[in-house]
Chain A
Amino acid sequence: MDLGLPFMLELTPNTLTAMVLVLALLVLASIIQRLLVSRLPAGTHIELQQRIRSWWIMVLVVFTALVIGHTASLIFFTILSFIALREFFSILPVRLTDRRLILALYLLVPVHYYWIATDWYGMFTIFIPVYLFLLIPFGLLLLGETKGFIRAVASYQWAVMTTVFAISHVAYLLMLPAETNPAGGGVGLVLYLVFLTQFNDVAQYIWGKTFGRRKIVPGISPNKTWEGFLGGIATTTLLGGLLAPWLTPLHWPLGLLAGLLIGIAGFVGDLTISAVKRDLLIKDTGQLIPGHGGILDRIDSLMYTAPLFFHFLRYTAY
């Protein structure tokens, strides 16, 4: 439907409704938080308030980029990847000799997103996993330091794979042919994936807080329980089936499967960054998002759900 506004042409009525519903959900969260003021201890309450305020800002920033259009969205994801990569390099034990390679990797972030902007799918899939895979060790060879070589190669490669390659799959959803998904378009796919991923985090947290008793991985994340994990996955699976016909080209049975995939992958992504922080003995990866921590703390699950959902969708529907 043409709404007459040039910058909104990429949004279908369903995606607009979805955005309004997300905002309504945030209003609801803010109201509940106000009602809980007297019931919660002060520390918990301030953290909850900070978290919800940060959610507002994150949602408004993402929505603004999506509403403005493809170019703005791609620029947004480029910046997101850069900030996440910088955060990763900042917590890793980096050798001073490698600074030049790290600068080069930052500069290659927009190059990778350029392949997406030009819809060069082949290059998008091999640029980091093949070319950078070979070039990172080569670059380190040129810098000449062999002490800690293996650890440097592996950790830099992993940093680029997770923060740039994996996250960029969200952006590539915008480039999938719109006619295959008349209901939601590219933006609908992004909303479906990002909403379910973040909702899954919140659902697992709430199920865990309410019914959690048996710890699932005490050595990595002592707050995670079987009840939170299973409750969260069940909620996300159901919601995945419910939302799929509305925002994606998937019918509800495949939507259930997509929801299940997002639920499990999100949990694993979350745990992975927890393990990184445990290894380095740090609490948060940064303080960019008050109440949440750093950007990696927020997009850890998306690093796992984005590529998996993208290829599930591409295989089944495109």
Chain B
Amino acid sequence: MIKALPKVLFFLLIVRPVVYLMLGLNLLQREKLPVHGPAILAANHNSHLDTLVLMSLYPLTTLHRVRPVAAADYFLRNRFTAWLSLNLIGIIPLDRQGEVGKDKVFELCQRALADDQILLLFPEGSRGDPEQLQPLRKGIYHLARSQPGTRVTPVALHGLGKALPRGGSMIVPFNCDAVVGDPLEPGEDCDAFMNELQTALEDLLTQCITRSKKQEG
């Protein structure tokens, strides 16, 4: 527990005030959020705030079991960012550049799933333009299949790309939406699962309160 203390304090004193007071969060269907692992949250990705918002949905007592999967090349690029990412946020670093063998890429993730943890994954791979869903990558399917019983819960996020877009350096308050969907179980067919996930995310996006159906639909 002592090891989790910096992370809990960081979320209690900094992240939660930012997410709940500075930004306004419209949270729909919170009850569908998985509370036990092995589970994967699959969200669309527009902003660094995405991870922090998803983690803020969890009570402080379960926070140490929630692990964002993040690009090693980006989040471990210097000592300060690496310390912040590993200790305060608790990321699982993922090699995007193929330096590790294909079968080893998800090793740390698989170990976390085997330990009944909850992984946060952005299947789009990286932050795209605000509110544009990019093609999903299939790694999430193989990861979920590797640990029996793993369910994938889609979460649509909206508005955070305005609050802190890619390349932006300051947070501007906007209300944002987080809509949690029904958990999906990956079956034999990879493409069928990826389609299911894509459809689920698109459908959840339409439920976002602040999302104008006219502008982006």
Residues of chain A at the chain B interface (Cβ within 8 Å): 83, 86-87, 89-91, 93-94, 96, 99-100, 102-103, 106, 279-288, 294
CB distance from B27 to the nearest CB of A (A): 8
| Known interface pairs A83-B24, A86-B24, A286-B26; A93-B159 also in contact (CB < 8 Å) | no
Q: From residue 162 to 177 of chain B, which have CB atoms closer than 8 A to chain A?
A: 162, 165, 168, 170, 172-176
When the two chains form their complex, are residues A282 and B209 in contact, meaning their CB atoms are under 8 A apart?
A: yes
Q: How far is the CA of A129 from the CA of B213 in the complex (A)?
A: 32
When the two chains form their complex, are residues B162 and A86 in contact, meaning their CB atoms are under 8 A apart?
A: no
When the two chains form their complex, are residues A103 and B210 in contact, meaning their CB atoms are under 8 A apart?
A: no
Q: How far is the CA of A280 from the CA of B213 in the complex (A)?
A: 7
* B211 beta carbon closer than 8 Å to chain A: yes
* B214 beta carbon closer than 8 Å to chain A: yes
Q: Please indicate the chain A residues that have their CB under 8 angstroms from the CB of B165 in the complex.
A: 96, 99
Could you jot down 17 A-B contacts, CB within 8 Å? A86-B24, A86-B173, A86-B174, A90-B176, A93-B212, A94-B162, A99-B162, A99-B170, A103-B170, A106-B173, A280-B213, A280-B214, A281-B213, A284-B209, A286-B175, A286-B210, A288-B24
Q: Please indicate the chain B residues that have their CB under 8 angstroms from the CB of A90 in the complex.
A: 24, 159, 162, 174-176, 210
When C-beta atoms are compared, the residue in chain B nearest to A277 turns out to be B212
When the two chains form their complex, are residues A96 and B215 in contact, meaning their CB atoms are under 8 A apart?
A: no
Q: Please indicate the chain A residues that have their CB under 8 angstroms from the CB of B28 in the complex.
A: 287
Q: Please indicate the chain B residues that have their CB under 8 angstroms from the CB of A280 in the complex.
A: 212-215
When C-beta atoms are compared, the residue in chain A nearest to B165 turns out to be A96
Residues of chain B at the chain A interface (Cβ within 8 Å): 24, 26-28, 130, 159, 162, 165, 168, 170, 172-176, 209-215, 217
Most chain A C-beta atoms within 10 Å of own C-beta, residue among B159, B209, B212: B209
| Known interface pairs A91-B210, A93-B215, A281-B213; A99-B168 also in contact (CB < 8 Å) | yes
Q: Please indicate the chain A residues that have their CB under 8 angstroms from the CB of B27 in the complex.
A: 287
Q: Please indicate the chain A residues that have their CB under 8 angstroms from the CB of B162 in the complex.
A: 90, 94, 96, 99
Q: How far is the CA of A207 from the CA of B172 in the complex (A)?
A: 42
CB distance from A182 to the nearest CB of B (A): 40
CB distance from B133 to the nearest CB of A (A): 18
Main secondary structure of the interface of B (DSSP, over half): loop
When C-beta atoms are compared, the residue in chain A nearest to B27 turns out to be A287
Q: How far is the CA of A286 from the CA of B177 in the complex (A)?
A: 9
When the two chains form their complex, are residues B210 and A282 in contact, meaning their CB atoms are under 8 A apart?
A: yes
Q: Please indicate the chain B residues that have their CB under 8 angstroms from the CB of A284 in the complex.
A: 209
| Known interface pairs A281-B213, A282-B212, A287-B209; A102-B172 also in contact (CB < 8 Å) | yes
Q: How far is the CA of A106 from the CA of B21 in the complex (A)?
A: 14
CB distance from B172 to the nearest CB of A (A): 5
Q: Please indicate the chain A residues that have their CB under 8 angstroms from the CB of B170 in the complex.
A: 99, 103
Most chain B C-beta atoms within 10 Å of own C-beta, residue among A83, A86, A102: A86
Main secondary structure of the interface of A (DSSP, over half): helix
Q: Please indicate the chain B residues that have their CB under 8 angstroms from the CB of A91 in the complex.
A: 210, 212
B26: contacting residue among A83, A89, A279, A287, CB under 8 A: A287
Q: Please indicate the chain B residues that have their CB under 8 angstroms from the CB of A89 in the complex.
A: 174
When C-beta atoms are compared, the residue in chain B nearest to A94 turns out to be B162
| Known interface pairs A86-B24, A93-B215; A99-B209 also in contact (CB < 8 Å) | no
Q: How far is the CA of A301 from the CA of B216 in the complex (A)?
A: 29
Q: Please indicate the chain B residues that have their CB under 8 angstroms from the CB of A287 in the complex.
A: 26-28, 209
Q: Please indicate the chain B residues that have their CB under 8 angstroms from the CB of A99 in the complex.
A: 162, 165, 168, 170, 172
Q: How far is the CA of A83 from the CA of B26 in the complex (A)?
A: 13
Q: Please indicate the chain B residues that have their CB under 8 angstroms from the CB of A294 in the complex.
A: 209
Q: Please indicate the chain B residues that have their CB under 8 angstroms from the CB of A100 in the complex.
A: 172
When the two chains form their complex, are residues B175 and A86 in contact, meaning their CB atoms are under 8 A apart?
A: yes
When the two chains form their complex, are residues A96 and B130 in contact, meaning their CB atoms are under 8 A apart?
A: yes
Since A86-B173, A87-B175, A102-B172 are in contact, a sample of 14 more A-B pairs with Cβ atoms closer than 8 Å, ordered by chain A residue number, is A90-B176, A91-B212, A93-B212, A93-B215, A94-B162, A94-B174, A100-B172, A280-B214, A280-B215, A281-B214, A281-B217, A282-B210, A283-B209, A284-B209
Q: How far is the CA of A96 from the CA of B167 in the complex (A)?
A: 11
Q: Please indicate the chain A residues that have their CB under 8 angstroms from the CB of B176 in the complex.
A: 90
When C-beta atoms are compared, the residue in chain A nearest to B175 turns out to be A90
Q: Please indicate the chain A residues that have their CB under 8 angstroms from the CB of B26 in the complex.
A: 286-287
Q: Please indicate the chain A residues that have their CB under 8 angstroms from the CB of B213 in the complex.
A: 280-282
CB distance from B170 to the nearest CB of A (A): 7
When C-beta atoms are compared, the residue in chain B nearest to A99 turns out to be B172
CB distance from B207 to the nearest CB of A (A): 10
Q: Please indicate the chain B residues that have their CB under 8 angstroms from the CB of A103 in the complex.
A: 170, 172-173
